[in-house]
Amino acid sequence: MMYLAIKTLISAVLIVTISEIAKRSPAFAALVASLPLVSVLGMMWLWRDTQDTDLLASHAEATFWYVIPSLPMFLLVPTLLRMGVGFWPSLAAGVFLTAILYLLTSLILSKFGVTL
């Protein structure tokens, strides 16, 4: 139980740190957020919990494929915000777009034998 609490605390500190940095420097916070820190932490937790090389390799590869369709969200949300659309609808549209692109990515990759 203590291990779960430590994982949660480290992950939460990362998110809070990024949001605090963003108040002073949005670009620097974006740089920190764009680093694959969450993915690296996830791989570290997965390795510590399982030490399963195949599982970790599959996780890392799937992460790569899922990053690509998530990128357009980071263009859609600011575009909508600048057009006067509210934050929550803009975010919802970005999440919806990402979900659709995830589905399309999975379907396209499956045609090439890549299973996510």
pTM over 0.95: no
* Structure confidence by residue, pLDDT tens digits, 40-64: 988 999 999 999 999 999 999 999 9
Read off the pLDDT of residues 79-114 as tens digits, 9 standing for 90 and up. Answer: 999 999 999 999 999 999 999 999 999 999 999 998
pLDDT confidence bin for 1, thresholds 50/70/90? confident
Using the Cα atoms of residue 103, residue 107, residue 108 and residue 112 in order, give the sign of their dihedral: positive
Distance in angstroms (rounded) separating the CA atoms of residues 108 and 104? 6
Question: In this structure, what token pair is assigned to residue 41?
Answer: 């932490």
- DSSP letter at 112? T
